[in-house]
Amino acid sequence: MTDIYTIQERSKIMSRIRSSGTAPEEALYSVVRELLGDHRRIDRNVSRLPGQPDIIVPSLKLAIFADGCFYHCCPNHGRKPKSNVDYWIPKLSRNRKRDRANRAALRKMRYTVWSVWEHSLKKHSIQRTSALLKKRLASFVMLRRCEIKRRNRSIR
Ligand SMILES: [Zn+2]
């Protein structure tokens, strides 16, 4: 695909996007990418899977969502909207139902599903979140390795 921008313009645009990096999905991706290193494939916004996961790590069968505090009704920041209540209340409740259904569908496909709240991906808490994810990923990778070993054994 040809770019309408010159390389210089494009890299300027991309560096601006990277340095602003405020979107929770971006922050989540950067953390996971850093933790997993370059050798594992990470797919983003995977529309062929239920709920269009923000991140899929195919080799681990792991799906990770960055959940917006408002749209996904975070217990700390998911306050009830004050205007257009007739629109928002049913919509948010539909969101929640759809989330649950999508994640159940993913689990049925043998994906492990993790969710990370938007507030955990903000600048002030990203370091803590990264440390938590690091621990979780390390034990998860071990778990998957054991599963694969077990599976191989049972075939023989
Ligand atoms: Zn929140």
Residue 68 has pLDDT above 60, yes or no: yes
Ligand 1 ion: nearby residues, β-carbon < 5 Å: 69, 74, 76-77, 117, 119
Distance CA 43, CA 38 (A): 13
User: Mean pLDDT throughout 20-48?
Assistant: 89
% of the chain at pLDDT higher than 90: 56
Q: Report pTM.
A: 0.80
C-alpha 118 to ligand 1 mean position (Å): 6
Looking at residue 147, its pLDDT comes to 86
Residue 38 has pLDDT above 70, yes or no: yes
Looking at residue 102, its pLDDT comes to 97
C-alpha 18 to ligand 1 mean position (Å): 23
CB atoms within 10 A of CB 60: 19
Looking at residue 89, its pLDDT comes to 87
C-alpha 116 to ligand 1 mean position (Å): 10
88-124: per-residue pLDDT in tens?
889 889 989 999 999 999 999 999 999 999 999 999 9
Residue 1 has pLDDT above 50, yes or no: no
C-alpha 6 to ligand 1 mean position (Å): 39
Q: Find, among 124, 74, 123, the residue nearest to 95 by Cα.
A: 74
C-alpha 17 to ligand 1 mean position (Å): 23
Q: Please check whether residue 148 is in contact with residue 140, taking contact to mean a CB–CB distance below 8 angstroms.
A: no
C-alpha 147 to ligand 1 mean position (Å): 34
User: Mean pLDDT throughout 50-65?
Assistant: 96
Amino acid at 65: F
Query: Tokens 């808490």 identify what position?
Result: 125
The residue among 82 and 9 whose pLDDT is bigger is: 82
Residue 39 has pLDDT above 90, yes or no: no
C-alpha 114 to ligand 1 mean position (Å): 15
Looking at residue 139, its pLDDT comes to 94
Residue 66 has pLDDT above 60, yes or no: yes
C-alpha 83 to ligand 1 mean position (Å): 20
Residue 22 has pLDDT above 70, yes or no: no
